[in-house]
Amino acid sequence: MSSAERFTEAEPATADGIWLRPTGAAAAEPRWGHADGMQIGIHPIPGPRGLLRVFTPYLDHPRERLVNFIAVEPIPRGEDRRGYSELEPSSLDPGENGKRFWSGDEPDGLAAPRDPLAPSRGVVETIDGVETLTVWIGVERFDNGADVRVRVRFRADRPREVEVAGFENEGSVPLQRLVLTATMCNWARLRRLELADRTVTPAELWPGFEGTGFTEHGRFGLAELRREGWTAVVSAIGDEEDPWSVAYADYTAEHWRFVGLRSRQTWRVDDPHPELEVLVNARWSYWASASEIPGGPAFENFEISEPFRQGAGFRFAVEPLD
Q: Tens digits of per-residue pLDDT, 245-258?
A: 999 999 999 999 99
Say how far apart CA 254 and CA 20 lie, in whole Å. Answer: 27
Q: Where are the alpha helices (DSSP H) in 189-284?
A: 202-205
274 phi and psi, to 5 degrees?
-55, -25
3-state secondary structure of 11: strand
Q: Which residues contact 311 (CB under 8 A, 6 or more apart)?
A: 151, 165, 166, 167
Query: What average pLDDT does range 135-149 have in this prediction?
Result: 98
Percent of the chain with pLDDT strictly greater than 70: 100
pTM metric for this prediction? 0.97
Tell me: pLDDT of 81 over 90.
no
293, 257 contact by CB (below 8 A): no
Residue 207: asked if its preceding bond is cis (omega within 30°), the reply is no
Q: Tens digits of per-residue pLDDT, 168-220?
A: 999 999 999 999 999 999 999 999 999 999 999 999 999 999 999 999 999 99
